[in-house]
Amino acid sequence: MQWQSWSDFWHMGGNAWFVWGSYGLTLALLLLELLQLRRAGRSARQRLLRWHRETSEEASRATERRTGSLRSHGNLS
Protein backbone atom coordinates (compact mmCIF):
# COMPACT_ATOMS: atom_id res chain seq x y z
CA MET A 1 0.00 0.00 0.00
CA GLN A 2 1.31 3.45 -0.87
CA TRP A 3 0.39 6.68 0.82
CA GLN A 4 0.41 10.12 -0.72
CA SER A 5 1.31 11.89 2.54
CA TRP A 6 2.13 11.29 6.18
CA SER A 7 -1.44 12.17 7.01
CA ASP A 8 -2.64 9.29 4.83
CA PHE A 9 -0.17 7.01 6.54
CA TRP A 10 -1.38 7.93 10.03
CA HIS A 11 -5.00 7.65 8.89
CA MET A 12 -4.36 4.12 7.48
CA GLY A 13 -7.10 4.27 4.90
CA GLY A 14 -9.80 4.82 7.51
CA ASN A 15 -8.62 1.93 9.71
CA ALA A 16 -6.25 3.91 11.92
CA TRP A 17 -8.34 3.27 15.05
CA PHE A 18 -7.91 -0.50 14.67
CA VAL A 19 -4.32 -0.45 13.44
CA TRP A 20 -2.87 1.94 16.00
CA GLY A 21 -5.09 0.53 18.73
CA SER A 22 -3.67 -2.94 18.14
CA TYR A 23 -0.12 -1.56 18.22
CA GLY A 24 -0.90 0.27 21.47
CA LEU A 25 -2.46 -2.80 23.07
CA THR A 26 0.47 -4.98 22.01
CA LEU A 27 2.95 -2.48 23.45
CA ALA A 28 1.00 -2.27 26.72
CA LEU A 29 0.89 -6.07 27.04
CA LEU A 30 4.62 -6.38 26.33
CA LEU A 31 5.39 -3.79 29.00
CA LEU A 32 3.13 -5.61 31.46
CA GLU A 33 4.93 -8.87 30.68
CA LEU A 34 8.32 -7.25 31.32
CA LEU A 35 7.14 -5.85 34.65
CA GLN A 36 5.80 -9.24 35.73
CA LEU A 37 9.03 -10.98 34.69
CA ARG A 38 11.04 -8.46 36.67
CA ARG A 39 8.84 -8.97 39.76
CA ALA A 40 9.04 -12.77 39.43
CA GLY A 41 12.83 -12.64 39.09
CA ARG A 42 13.15 -10.44 42.15
CA SER A 43 10.87 -12.76 44.13
CA ALA A 44 12.83 -15.84 43.05
CA ARG A 45 16.11 -14.17 44.05
CA GLN A 46 14.73 -13.29 47.47
CA ARG A 47 13.45 -16.85 48.03
CA LEU A 48 16.82 -18.27 46.97
CA LEU A 49 18.73 -15.96 49.31
CA ARG A 50 16.38 -16.78 52.19
CA TRP A 51 16.81 -20.53 51.50
CA HIS A 52 20.59 -20.13 51.31
CA ARG A 53 20.68 -18.25 54.63
CA GLU A 54 18.51 -20.86 56.34
CA THR A 55 20.51 -23.82 55.06
CA SER A 56 23.86 -22.22 55.86
CA GLU A 57 22.66 -21.41 59.40
CA GLU A 58 21.46 -25.00 59.86
CA ALA A 59 24.77 -26.35 58.58
CA SER A 60 26.66 -24.02 60.89
CA ARG A 61 24.63 -25.14 63.92
CA ALA A 62 25.12 -28.81 62.98
CA THR A 63 28.88 -28.27 62.69
CA GLU A 64 28.96 -26.54 66.06
CA ARG A 65 27.05 -29.43 67.65
CA ARG A 66 29.46 -31.97 66.14
CA THR A 67 32.60 -30.12 67.15
CA GLY A 68 31.12 -29.39 70.57
CA SER A 69 30.42 -33.08 71.19
CA LEU A 70 33.90 -34.02 70.00
CA ARG A 71 35.45 -31.47 72.36
CA SER A 72 33.45 -32.78 75.28
CA HIS A 73 34.74 -36.32 74.56
CA GLY A 74 38.32 -35.06 74.31
CA ASN A 75 38.68 -35.93 70.62
CA LEU A 76 39.23 -32.37 69.47
CA SER A 77 41.60 -29.85 70.97
pLDDT tens profile 9-54: 888 888 889 999 999 999 999 999 999 999 999 999 999 999 999 8
Answer with the residue of higher pLDDT: 62 or 73.
Answer: 62
Kindly tell me if the per-residue pLDDT of 1 is higher than 80.
Answer: no
Q: What is the pTM of this model?
A: 0.59
58 contacts: CB under 8 Å, gap ≥ 6: none
Give residue 76's pLDDT: 55
26 contacts: CB under 8 Å, gap ≥ 6: none
Kindly tell me if the per-residue pLDDT of 77 is higher than 60.
Answer: no
Answer with the residue of higher pLDDT: 28 or 73.
Answer: 28
